[in-house]
Amino acid sequence: MDKKFDDALRHALAPIDEADRELNQKILNQAEEQSTMEKRMKRRLSAAAIIAVSVLSVSSVTVYAAWKYLPSSHVAENMRDIKLAEAFSSEQAVSVHETQSYGEYRVTLLSIISGELLSEHPRCSENGAVIADRTYAVIAIERADGEPLPDTSEEEYDKLDFFASPLIGEYNPAFYNIASMSGNYTDMTEDGILYRLFECDSIEMFADHDLYLCVSEGMFYNTDAYCYDELTGKISRNEEYEGLNALFKLPLDISKANPEKAAEYMASLGLESDILTEKLNIVPEDSFEVKVTEDNKRGAEIAEYALQFVGNPYGWGEDSLTEGTDSSGFAKSVYEYFGISLPHNSNEQRELGTKVDDLENAKPGDLIFYDTPSHVAIYIGEGLVIHAMPEIGICISEMDFDEVSEIRNYVTETK
């Protein structure tokens, strides 16, 4: 950027000065034309932690904010999506530049755009069909104390986990979030600021609902960080939560709402009917009992021990069998009772033990792993598992409530 222009901008305006939209756009355009930077990015393509938001209105913008952060078009360009970069430069995109600071981080929602075939890297469904109607957004994440975040090429980056997702009022956010909306994201860092470009199925059809964007630490939705009122359908920050729990309200153009399409879309996800009611939280028949075999007595004991905690609460990042635990914490604490040490991380847990080749060979006490999101459960026999689920707590589910990615045994030498 031109030095005289840079100096004048620094000295003439304080962060609270309100920007003229035309002037702000000139600044963005100049930054795009004159600034160059090294491409530094990392793509994550897991359905576990991904994506989010569509917005069609403008929040208060400052010239300072426009100067401080990279333009969203520049972020898209550095992520090798020229078509999307052009879309972010068009009038169709909405510049927001709203900042929230909680915990150790400051998060800024920069821009959002929705439409059909905006990217030159369109996402496809399982049958190979292009998912045309998508929402794209860019956020900037930085440390509140000014310490730079690691580059995506550094090992320290792999220790960071941020969850960014659209949330739809009147729908339980523990189940209706990025994991069920075909999400995806790409990260890059510049000058110690992490930029995330994320996408998901378009949420314009829900414009007649309250819409939110949540940003928190962790791999998936944190029920401790946010509150959901089942009576009103409102979603809010948990004011007592001490970590990052930013929550942006997304006022969409209500004329974009399509209730029929929205209802059809939600039905296609099948979460309420197929998973929650029929498979996720069930009561076994009275005749159910954990089967003990000569080669798996200890595994059966593990499964039997775990069953006494059904009904106890969920707690993200916790491992208490009575006060609150997440899925990996539950497996860790149950196994710990039997003198088996496991890490409090499902991805690390699956690197231990012995792999079981197929579902038919699974035995009570084995750990069942899922990828949407990263999740772990304890097999108890007869196609059932016990695990800790957001909103529900420790519960019994049919093993195929989600697609199984791996099964591992930790108590017998052979399978």
| Whether pLDDT at 6 is above 90 | no
Burial (Cβ within 10 Å: 0-12, 13-18, ≥19) of residue 14: exposed
Question: What stretch of H or E contains 226?
Answer: strand 226-228
Percent of the residues in the chain that have a pLDDT greater than 90, as a whole number: 49
What tokens appear for 382 in the block?
């007869």
| Whether pLDDT at 222 is above 90 | no
Least confident of 89-98, 355-364, 370-379: 370-379
CA separation for the pair 153, 348 (Å, rounded): 21
Residue of 379, 375, 364 whose CA lies nearest to 412: 364
Tell me how far CA of residue 65 lies from CA of 17, 35, 68, 328, 352, in angstroms: 10, 16, 5, 40, 46
For residue 325, the model assigns a pLDDT of: 92
Q: Which residues contact 359 (CB under 8 A, 6 or more apart)?
A: 399, 404, 407
CA separation for the pair 362, 364 (Å, rounded): 7
CA separation for the pair 310, 282 (Å, rounded): 11
Q: Which residue has the tokens 């929602």?
A: 109
To the nearest whole number, what is the mean pLDDT of the chain?
Answer: 80
Residue of 175, 165, 296 whose CA lies nearest to 228: 175
Residue of 260, 163, 249 whose CA lies nearest to 206: 260
C-alpha distance across the termini of the chain, in Å: 64
| Whether pLDDT at 163 is above 80 | yes
Domains annotated on the chain, with CATH: 3-269 (no CATH), 274-409 (3.90.1720.10)
What tokens appear for 185 in the block?
């994201």
CB 194 within 8 A of CB 187: yes
CB 328 within 8 A of CB 345: yes
**Residue 126: pLDDT band with limits 50, 70, 90:** low
Tell me how far CA of residue 225 lies from CA of 35, 174, 236, 369, in angstroms: 38, 11, 9, 25
CA separation for the pair 198, 358 (Å, rounded): 34
Burial (Cβ within 10 Å: 0-12, 13-18, ≥19) of residue 283: exposed
| Whether pLDDT at 226 is above 70 | yes
Distance of CA 349 to the CA centre of its chain: 21
What tokens appear for 225 in the block?
């960080």
Which amino acid is it at 71? P
pLDDT 10s digits, 8-61? 333 333 333 333 444 344 434 433 433 333 333 454 433 333 222 222 223 333
For residue 205, the model assigns a pLDDT of: 93
